[in-house]
Structure 1
Amino acid sequence: MTASWLPNAYRDGKDRSVKVLITIGQPELQVNIQGRTVPWRPLQPNHAIERVRIIVALGTPLPSKFLRSVAADNDERRLALGFTSKNLRRGQQIHFQPSGVSFGGSPSELWGWDWQRLTAGNRPVETLVVENEAIVYETAEYIRWTSFLRRFEEVAGPILDKILTVVDAATMSLEYGDRFVFEGRPIDARPDFLLANISALLPENAASGGSLWHVHRGWFEELEGHKVLINQNLDAQDSKSPDRGTIRSVQVLTKTELRSRGEQLEYEVLKEKLASMHERSKEIFKSVLSEGMQAQVGIRGETNGQS
């Protein structure tokens, strides 16, 4: 066990240093505040991932007849994969564009459908959404990248492969939603024990845990010849618990969005790009975490909780 003193820079110049105890190998970062040990912990025992989502946006809307055919052709496979809930999406779609608002389709037109795999309490843990302009796969049961990708291919692969023979993909996004929970009073939830260099971006009241805060950032970069939009949102959030009252947590949403250069992005090409987007997402996520929390979620060394 190691201990270090982290000075806290306040505008009045007073030293309010707080001792931080980092216990390697346990799923928490312990903070000693006035003699009390208070931990930040990842949402899961060995990683912080709350959900992972893949979105493929289409360059041209799919016709209603095609959507209906794909749904019927895959219904037996849906049940075999464990998706017991199926919902059709009908009605007019509203499009917000710089030129104004437009409406597409008739009120009864089919423009999509979704599958959901539910827990015993009817909570969705895995979802596939197929709409005329996008395909979305999301899961709350992430273990590691290889198993996630294998499941994505099993669930969405055959449908996406067929769709991309009809229309082209415009963009593909990979989103990681990570969450860290503070076990003490929200007013003590200093984010600088969790996130690197965060205090420089926040006012004093937020940096000390006294108020909620959010930091959003984004930029473009090149990835294997494609333009990629990077978005990362850091949000302090409060929720209510019958046992503990208000619970403070921090959500880290990391998104990489690959954009087509005008060429046809076939299914096999998209799968190859996903691996690179995953690696880049890990680098960006790691860059915002403190060294202690990097160790807790397994990304400080060669192994990775998202690997």
Structure 2
Amino acid sequence: MWKMIHKENAIEGAAMTIRFAEPLSSMVAKRVVRDAESRASDEGFSVKEPLQQIQFQFEPLNADIRQASIAGMVFQHNSLTRDVDGNVALRLARQFVVQPEQIAMQLQRYRGWETEWPASKKMIDPAIAIAAGVVPIAAFRLEYLNRFIYDGDAGDGIVNGLLRRSDFIAPHVFEAPDLFHSHTGRFDEISDAPVKRRLTQVNADLQTLSPPHSMAGNKTLALMLAVEWQFGPPGLEVSSSEVADVSTKYFSCLHDDIHALLKDLIESKFASENNLPQ
């Protein structure tokens, strides 16, 4: 039968992203990083690493591959957990990412919106306040990665009893006995200023595990849901005194949108049996 990856919910990870209308200058990006550094320890972020990229240089006489630092920083919050063998190990719980184009809080261990949003605001709001004093906000985005596992007969496990037919799910998904991928998206024009349009994305990916995994059964379905509210040019201008209210307003709306989307994608019987939105 199909079941959620966790008893309390199906969420494997989540991310809150604020994208800027234009990249932050090096000076402003450094200010955001310094402010995050001053708060990191109190909020449990004990590891700080620069974001890096790989550069490939192809020349006849001077081929080279090197790792180069870029203007960005990631702050990691690790927690102690027990693995499948009962051993205590460090596990990434969340990370706060600062880049010139955006800031993001990425959650690897989701504890519920009422817990995650207030905790995330403590890092997100000060960063927005610094950045928004220089550049407008282009978009707010919220995404969830839900995971479901099937522990029944390996030859069964079609998703009809889990997913319902929707414009966001490709039709072949409901007949596929094995591997499938369905990635869809849609823009909806929004008349409420200053929001110009809403982007909704749904990625459904089914994988058969061979051999079966003791913790994940015979099949696993990853269901990524994302909603992004985009602002028309020049973007949303926010004063430092407005940041706390604005961020809560938009991310609360995004959270409601995700709930409504999940209700449209999950069969009502499965949702009822597993206390999912319905």
Q: Indicate the TM-score class for this superposition, using the shorter chain for normalisation.
A: 0.7 to 0.9
Q: Name the counterpart of 2:119.
A: 151
| Contact 2:150 2:216 survives alignment (8 Å) | no
Work out whether 1:291 is the aligned partner of 2:268: yes
1:195 alignment partner AA: L
Q: Name the counterpart of 1:104.
A: none
Cα deviation digits, residues 187-232 of structure 1 (max 9, x gap): 211110111137x9555xx646632112222112245442101111
Moved more, 149-158 or 114-123: 114-123
Which secondary structure does the structure 1 equivalent of 2:96 belong to?
strand
Gaps of 5+ in 1: 1-38, 95-106, 302-307
Question: What is the root-mean-square deviation of aligned Cα atoms in Å?
Answer: 2.7
Gaps of 5+ in 2: 57-66, 81-88
Q: Distance in 1 between matches of 2:94 and 2:277?
A: 29
Q: Distance in 1 between matches of 2:26 and 2:55?
A: 13
Which secondary structure does the structure 1 equivalent of 2:51 belong to?
strand
Work out whether 1:172 is the aligned partner of 2:115: no
| Contact 2:31 2:130 survives alignment (8 Å) | no
Spell out the pairing of 1:1-307 with structure 2 (5 A cutoff). Answer: 39-89=1-51, 110-120=70-80, 121-197=89-165, 201-203=170-172, 207=174, 210-223=177-190, 224-225=192-193, 226=195, 227-239=197-209, 243=214, 247-262=218-233, 263-266=235-238, 267=243, 268-300=245-277
Q: Distance in 1 between matches of 2:12 and 2:232?
A: 32
Decide whether aligned partners of structure 1 residues 68 and 90 sit closer, same or farther in structure 2, where only a CA change above 3 A counts. farther
Cα deviation digits, residues 7-51 of structure 1 (max 9, x gap): xxxxxxxxxxxxxxxxxxxxxxxxxxxxxxxx2111111211111
1:220 alignment partner AA: F
Decide whether aligned partners of structure 1 residues 182 and 246 sit closer, same or farther in structure 2, where only a CA change above 3 A counts. closer
Q: Distance in 2 between matches of 1:77 and 1:129?
A: 14
1:210 alignment partner AA: P
2:206 alignment partner AA: A
Cα deviation digits, residues 134-176 of structure 1 (max 9, x gap): 1111112323322221111112221122111121111111101
Which secondary structure does the structure 2 equivalent of 1:74 belong to?
helix
Q: Distance in 1 between matches of 2:25 and 2:277?
A: 47
| Contact 1:68 1:110 survives alignment (8 Å) | no
| Contact 2:77 2:95 survives alignment (8 Å) | yes
1:233 alignment partner AA: N
Deviation at 1:257, TM superposition (A): 1.0
Q: Distance in 2 between matches of 1:62 and 1:152?
A: 21
Larger-gyration structure (1/2): 1
Identity percentage over the alignment?
A: 20
| Contact 1:238 1:246 survives alignment (8 Å) | no
| Contact 2:151 2:217 survives alignment (8 Å) | no
Q: Distance in 2 between matches of 1:92 and 1:159?
A: 27
1:58 alignment partner AA: F
Deviation at 1:64, TM superposition (A): 2.1
Figure out how many residues of one structure are paired with residues of the other and give that number. 248
